[in-house]
A and B are shown apart, each in its own frame.
Chain A
Amino acid sequence: MMNVLVFVGINTILAVALNLLLGYAGQISLGHAAFFGLGAYISGVLTVTYGLNSWISMFIAATATGILAFILGFPILKLKGHYLAMATLGFGIIVYIVFNETVALTGGPSGLSGIPNLGIASLTFDSDIKNYYLVWLFALISIFLSLNLADSRIGRALRAIHDSEVAARGMGVNVRLLKVQIFALSALLSAVAGSLYAHTMTFISPASFGFNFSVELVTMVIIGGLGSIYGSFLGAALLTLLPEILRAFQDYDIIVYGLLLILMTMFMPGGLVRGVPGILLSLRPARKQGREY
């Protein structure tokens, strides 16, 4: 169980990061797995091939990915709606192909193994329970960071962009720069999650960072509830635990998975955060009326 909870933690960081972009700034990304992968691969290659310290590699991975996203953000975030979706999707596919083709560096499709665990002094994070604390420390930091950001001036400005860019601009918000900054922050957090993934798994292969995973991330955020940090956690937890639960369906879990996605969107369009309380309330109409607020 611990092992799964480690992955719930990593996915929580990713969902929180994507939610900053998707839920707060209202900008879709269908290529976030690429930032996750860049974090993992930069960390992996620096430690395995160049023998760098794991923490330093993680730091370089996060900063480099953040800077790349910042530069890329200017042309990409000029696009809107489905064009933005297409551009981020394209970016994701290009990065995926690069992971596959640079065999000398990344090991290509068969993956990169022997990535060292993270460690502090004599403590090495090499068991599920240790990794659990490590990953959740980072997850809590990113949740805390995002909550603060959401309540700050920047958070309000972001929501303004989400609702109307023109109005936000009218109020003196530097819309373009802000969007790019949040894109870079989101990418940076995803890269941190990628590094953690690489150092806890000790093996990475391109298949984990493809288009499917990008879609899964978007699904986590939406199923959890757009614009809600706790929702991102719920979404990440549900989608990570689901395969464990669906194991009873053997080969046919894919059908149940698809059906669940459709039903959830139909009957819980606001995501788990809003949907579950709503359903609970509607089950107990009497008490709801009796209360006064």
Chain B
Amino acid sequence: MLSMTRTLFVALLITAQATIVLAAAPPIKIGALFAVTGPASFLGEPERNTAQMVVDEINQSGGIKGRMLLLITYDTQGDATRAVQAATRLIKEDKVVAIIGPSTTGDTMAIIPLVEKSQIPLISCAAGIKITEPVKPWVFKTAQNDSLAVAKIYEHLVKRKITKISILTVSDSFGSSGREQLKNQAAKYGIQILSDDTYGPKDTDMTPQLTKIRTNQSQALICWGTNPGPALIARNAKQLGLKLPLYMSHGVSSKKFIDLAGDAAEGIILPSGRVLVADILPNSDKQKKSLLSYVKDYQKHYKAEGDHFGGHAWDAVMLLKSAISKSGENPASIRGQLEKTKNFYGIGGIFNYSPADHSGLGKDAFVLVEVKGKDWKLVP
């Protein structure tokens, strides 16, 4: 029932916004593609909600130089075919000036040829490293590269003098991207991967994989997945009495994970964007202002915690807003302006785009957090 009222609320907002729009100059159209339903809805739903919320707020405070924004959102269901169809529609029929999203790396890769050819700037909310490497002129992204998250974990392992690990990754695009990075960077940190296992996104029992890991000489286990898989792994590990330190990915950096895993979550360490620990950041932190306002707004609108993934959409809309207000609504000038973005304090980190770097974030985009007493604590 809750989500129905929520939809009604959003619908009301849209109509309200439409009436404002009617009175003023024609709105600037922005396209959005998110996997609102389907297996990747854990990304798409907060992203869609956040994007709509931010756009509404921009409009309520007078739009961009008096011009309203109109956000046109389509659901890709995490399916490449639908993503391409929807992107075509946004570009050819709705005639948007820029697109934010899609939520997944697969959807993004699928529409890149189209946006490159149509010369429409795209700010993807997906994390895959190949989206911006090699750099494509019209494609930017806000989600932190998986390689940064992996580096953060490996540095911590080195500090703890752990050299032998096992990895357990989910067999979807999130997990396989993490798995690739875990394997690629291991040698650089002098880490040896003793067992490399996967599990299916809908699997209900991971004890076989964990039983196998229990028998090797691993000193730590890194698990790469999104809810609910990692919560199951945490519980299964507890059942088996697995004593290894357990590391997870930013894929589970939300309170939901602690709810699902219960006691088994205690002591788990994971890299996360700062949004998770916004309230305990030192006041000197330059992102803190953006983070706190985002968390508060999201709570107000959707009665849920603003999370890491919604943050990608927040960054995308705000980056676009600042580019449009500086350079106007021509796709080419938006693109040029995005590329000049410097020291933008977002949710995901501090963005610095350049012609050679369209992902814009450094290693400091992640902090390590640990679950203690059913809450997140910063790991020094």
**B119 in the interface, Cβ–Cβ < 8 Å?**
no
In the complex, what residues of A have CB within 8 A of residue B198's CB? 101
Question: Which of B167-175, B213-221, B316-324, B339-347 has 4 or more CB atoms under 8 Å from chain A?
Answer: B167-175
Q: A111-B110, A113-B109, A250-B7 are in contact. Are A207 and B79 (CB under 8 A)?
A: yes
Which applies to chain B's interface (DSSP): helix, strand, loop or mixed?
A: helix
In the complex, what residues of B have CB within 8 A of residue A205's CB? 80, 106, 109-110, 173
Q: A3-B85, A208-B79 are in contact. Are A111 and B106 (CB under 8 A)?
A: yes
In the complex, what residues of B have CB within 8 A of residue A109's CB? 106, 171-173, 175-176
**B78 in the interface, Cβ–Cβ < 8 Å?**
yes
In the complex, what residues of B have CB within 8 A of residue A254's CB? 37
The number of chain B residues with a CB under 8 A from chain A is 33
Q: Is the CB of B37 within 8 A of A4?
A: no
Interface residue from B93, B106, B112, B130 paired with A207 (Cβ < 8 Å): B106
Instruction: Return A40 CB to nearest CB of chain B, in Å.
Output: 11
Q: A4-B85, A7-B81, A251-B37 are in contact. Are A110 and B177 (CB under 8 A)?
A: yes
Instruction: Return B131 CB to nearest CB of chain A, in Å.
Output: 10
In the complex, what residues of B have CB within 8 A of residue A219's CB? none
The number of chain A residues with a CB under 8 A from chain B is 27
In the complex, what residues of A have CB within 8 A of residue B7's CB? 250-251
In the complex, what residues of A have CB within 8 A of residue B105's CB? 110-111
Which single residue of chain A is at the shortest CB-CB distance from B40?
A207
Interface string of A186-206 (1 = CB under 8 A from B): 000000000000000111110
In the complex, what residues of A have CB within 8 A of residue B171's CB? 100-101, 108-109
Interface string of A259-274 (1 = CB under 8 A from B): 0000000000000000
**A103 in the interface, Cβ–Cβ < 8 Å?**
yes
Interface residue from B36, B74, B85, B172 paired with A7 (Cβ < 8 Å): B85
**B245 in the interface, Cβ–Cβ < 8 Å?**
no
**A278 in the interface, Cβ–Cβ < 8 Å?**
no
Q: Is the CB of B110 within 8 A of A110?
A: no
In the complex, what residues of A have CB within 8 A of residue B128's CB? 110
Question: Which residues between 199 and 251 of chain A lie within 8 Å of chain B, taking CB atoms?
Answer: 201-205, 207-208, 243-244, 247, 250-251
Question: Which residues between 155 and 169 of chain A lie within 8 Å of chain B, taking CB atoms?
Answer: none
- Chain B residues within 8 Å of A, Cβ to Cβ: 7, 36-37, 74-75, 78-82, 84-85, 88-89, 92-93, 105-106, 109-110, 112-113, 117, 128, 130, 171-173, 175-177, 180, 198
Please name 15 further chain A to chain B contacts, defined as beta carbons within 8 Å, in addition to the given A110-B105, A110-B176, A203-B80, sorted by A numbering.
A3-B85, A3-B88, A7-B81, A103-B180, A110-B130, A111-B105, A113-B109, A201-B81, A201-B110, A203-B84, A207-B80, A243-B82, A244-B85, A251-B36, A254-B37
The list of the 6 closest CB pairs from A to B, nearest first, reads: A3-B88, A110-B173, A203-B110, A205-B106, A109-B173, A108-B176
Give me 20 A-to-B residue pairs in the complex whose CB atoms sit less than 8 angstroms apart, sorted by A's number: A3-B84, A4-B85, A7-B81, A100-B171, A101-B171, A101-B198, A108-B171, A109-B106, A111-B110, A113-B112, A128-B88, A201-B110, A202-B113, A203-B110, A205-B80, A205-B109, A205-B110, A208-B79, A250-B7, A251-B7
